[in-house]
Amino acid sequence: MLQPSRPGRYIAIYPPLLFAAWVVAWLIDLWLRAHFHWDTQIDTVYWIAMKLIVWVSPVFVVILTVERANIAEFLDLRHPAQGVRWGLIVGAVLVAINYLGKTLPSGATLHIPSIALPFLNAVIVAPIVEEITLRGFVQKRLELNGHPFWTANFLTTIVFVTMHIPGWLFNGRVASPVGLLAPMIPIALPSLLFGWTKKRADSLYASIIVHAINNLYSAL
């Protein structure tokens, strides 16, 4: 059974290193787009590769070499049936809340996106990558270090929100640092829910499913 350990202290510097690597990935993307003028499909391939290189690969390396643990065990990749069940239930509740609280009052209509690579990246790749890194790895290590669940969930949510900032800035979605506050809450609240769902189901499959449902609803 995994226990709090001295190697677990590395988690304090892991998020800043992840953020720095993600900023570098964005700078490289901007340079490549300026010089090669590639299209959305190629850009999406680049980002999928970067997610595997920057987000997932280091997690696997740390689990194997520092934690010296089984990857699936450490990430709580267990109880798939229970995880899927909780993910679907919480995902349905989240969709209902979004529909009644935002979509219906705004008069927005259903939009069927094309099943292209960007769509698959948002609905499948991003939930898997982000949940493995954040809820599976960061949140788990924080709890093993002795943090209460809600503290670990809150700290993980701060990392989750922070990792979106480079994309907002480099894509010009926010005009100033103050403008960053507006998009933070709409993703912070679901992040806390993802963490709770994973904890309640005792399965990373649960947070992956509810995260995917949330992204799918946003795409629609």
In this structure, are residues 135 and 194 in contact, taking their beta carbons and an 8 Å threshold? yes
pLDDT tens for each residue of the chain, 220 residues long = 444 445 688 999 999 999 999 999 999 999 999 898 888 889 999 999 999 999 999 999 999 999 999 999 999 999 999 999 999 999 999 999 988 888 888 877 777 777 789 889 999 999 999 999 999 999 999 999 999 999 999 999 999 999 999 988 888 777 666 677 777 888 999 999 999 999 999 999 999 999 999 999 988 8
How far apart CA 97 and CA 112 sit, in angstroms, is 20
Tokens 């629609």 correspond to 220
In this structure, are residues 142 and 155 in contact, taking their beta carbons and an 8 Å threshold? yes
Q: What is the SS3 assignment for 3?
A: coil
Six-digit token pair at 130? 């982000």
> What tens digit of pLDDT does each residue of 31-42 get?
999 898 888 889
Per-residue H/E/C for 58-96: HHHHHHHHHHCCCHHHHCCCCCHHHHHHHHHHHHHHHHH
Instruction: Name the amino acid, one letter, at 96.
Output: A
b or e along 18-52 (b: 16 or more beta carbons within 10 Å of the residue's beta carbon)? bbeebeebbeebeeeeeeeeeeeeebbebbbebbe
Instruction: Name the amino acid, one letter, at 48.
Output: I
> What tens digit of pLDDT does each residue of 154-172 get?
999 999 999 999 988 888 7
Backbone φ, ψ for residue 4 (5° rounding): -55, 140
**Quick one: which of 68, 47, 63 has its CA closest to 130?**
47
pLDDT of residue 60: 98
pLDDT of residue 174: 72
pLDDT of residue 101: 84
pLDDT of residue 6: 54
pLDDT of residue 1: 45
pLDDT of residue 220: 81
